[in-house]
Amino acid sequence: MDQNPQPTIRATNCETPALDRRAMLSAVAAACAGALVPSHALAATRNMEGLKTKAAARGIVYGAEITVPVLANPSLAKAIAREAAIITPGVEMKWGATEKLRGKADYSDAETLARFAGENRLALRGHAALWYRNIPVWARPLLDGPRGKDILLKRTSDVIGHFRGRVAEWDVVNEAIDPRDGNPTGLRKWPPFAKGDPGYIAEAFHAAKDADPKALLYYNDYGFVYDNPRAADRRKTAIALIENLMNRGAPINGFGVQTHLKVGSVFSPKIFGDFLRIIADYKLRIGITELDVNDSLLPADIAIRDKAVAEHAGRVLGVALAVPAVKSVITWGLTDSFTWLNSKSVRQNNVDARPLPLDRHLARKPLWYAIADAFDNAPHR
Ligand code: G3I
């Protein structure tokens, strides 16, 4: 019995059918278009098809992370609307962005992105209600005190409640796992939860459910993809956490695998595929929630890098999309001109990173085609 029956995915300002019906509608529409249009024109139409159309034909949702500065570029805003069926704010819904002053919530930037989603009939993905980073300055000293948990649960209710009925799915808790902190549960030492008791995570999901009963609620984290001891530890911790949350009756619908890839990392299709299938066995949807590809270990030559990035991402996505529970793929950005991997604090060399499907001129790169092929070759959901 599915513990949490899946609600429908909703685009902002309108009810849309659940993913499977939506994908079926898109596939039928595409087929009908084919019947009415001559082949050369159809080829041109297909070439303009965004990744969302290819994904929807297999019952998958494709989307992208965006930030407000992205919308200042009309061509980029148009590309987002063409390629993505769902968008997620990279920063604007985070606590540090929405409540700089205690009790004075400011959702204006997040509302700008929500408006863009509504105007373009895109669904909205909330990110992130609770995250140990991006904490407003006023809150930091309080989290370790007696009211810390209440303050965090209020934050969860506030932000999810503000967007009630307008967000299809939420990252309720983001990146709570860090076995290096030495907790027996493998959870991060994050005040006031320094002992790593997963109880607060279950409470956060209940608060989220109360704040928006129809949104799909995800736990989201990174570091599960590769074949190395640290990733193995994180996968084991994640499975134990999901088991714990399910036993507590936490209203969790989905598991987000961020999938920040790095060319040169050791990848085992069996290890990653087995992990996804174990998570799926908990009757959870799985999202690839922050896909991008770090090419910093590659030569500077663009053709070499783009080819290697595409091949690497294609292999990982092929394994992920072979698991029917994987319902969505979101790239963490759409174009190389807006990627966290080029921010000063992150970049690892003096070569501009090329981690995303479109280049700085919005031209489709080999990675775009690798993602498109992965959708084309995925089993229908
Ligand atoms: O907007 C200000 C700008 O006005 C200022 O001049 C500039 C220099 O300080 O900072 C800009 O804000 C930055 C913001 O990104 C805008 O893009 C923040 O400093 C910077 O901390 C923030 O970084 C974001 C980071 O999360 C922390 O919130 C990245 O863009 C975002 O891509 C990254 O995303 C995270 C996910 O939430 C969780 N998974 C990992 C992923 C990558 O770190």
Query: DSSP readout, 119-170?
Result: HTT-EEEE--SEESSS--TTTHHHHTSTTHHHHHHHHHHHHHHHTTTT-SEE
Test site for ligand 1: of 343, 344, 346, 356, most ligand atoms within 8 A of the Cβ: 343
Residue keyed to tokens 């429908």: 8
- What is the structure's pLDDT at 351? 84
The CA distances from residue 327 to 18, 56, 217, 321, in Å, are: 11, 10, 14, 8
Is the pLDDT reported for residue 305 higher than 50?
A: yes
Q: For the residues 259-277, what does the mean pLDDT come to?
A: 98
Averaged pLDDT score across all residues of the chain: 90
Nearest CA to ligand 1 atom 24: 91
pTM of the model: 0.90
Which candidate, 44, 46, 55, 130, places its Cα nearest to that of 86?
55
- What is the structure's pLDDT at 179? 97
pLDDT band at 39 (very low <50, low <70, confident <90, very high): low
Residue scoring higher pLDDT (132 or 21):
132
- What is the structure's pLDDT at 41? 57
Rounded distance from Cα 152 to ligand 1 centre (Å): 21
Q: Give the contacts of 321 (CB within 8 A, at least 6 positions apart).
A: 58, 60, 329, 374, 375, 377, 378, 379
Lowest mean pLDDT across 195-199, 246-250, 341-345: 341-345
Pocket around ligand 1 at a 6 A CB cut-off: 67, 90-91, 94, 133-134, 174, 258, 290, 340
Test site for ligand 1: of 66, 87, 91, 294, most ligand atoms within 8 A of the Cβ: 91
Nearest CA to ligand 1 atom 7: 343
Is the pLDDT reported for residue 131 higher than 60?
A: yes
Nearest CA to ligand 1 atom 14: 91
Contact 359, 336 (CB under 8 A): yes
- What is the structure's pLDDT at 115? 98
pLDDT tens for each residue of 277-300: 999 999 999 999 999 999 999 999
- What is the structure's pLDDT at 359? 98
Rounded distance from Cα 297 to ligand 1 centre (Å): 23
Is the pLDDT reported for residue 36 higher than 90?
A: no
Nearest CA to ligand 1 atom 22: 91
Q: For the residues 78-88, what does the mean pLDDT come to?
A: 98
pLDDT tens for each residue of 152-163: 999 999 999 999
Rounded distance from Cα 340 to ligand 1 centre (Å): 7
> Quick one: CA torsion of 338, 342, 344, 348, rounded to 10 degrees?
170
Q: For the residues 35-59, what does the mean pLDDT come to?
A: 74
Q: What angle do CA 287, 278, 203 make, to 5 degrees?
A: 65
Rounded distance from Cα 266 to ligand 1 centre (Å): 28
pLDDT band at 345 (very low <50, low <70, confident <90, very high): confident
In ligand 1, the atom with minimum distance to the C-alpha of 128 is: 37
Is the pLDDT reported for residue 27 higher than 70?
A: no
Is the pLDDT reported for residue 234 higher than 90?
A: yes
Q: For the residues 361-368, what does the mean pLDDT come to?
A: 98
Backbone angles phi, psi at 244, to 5 degrees: -65, -45
Rounded distance from Cα 343 to ligand 1 centre (Å): 8
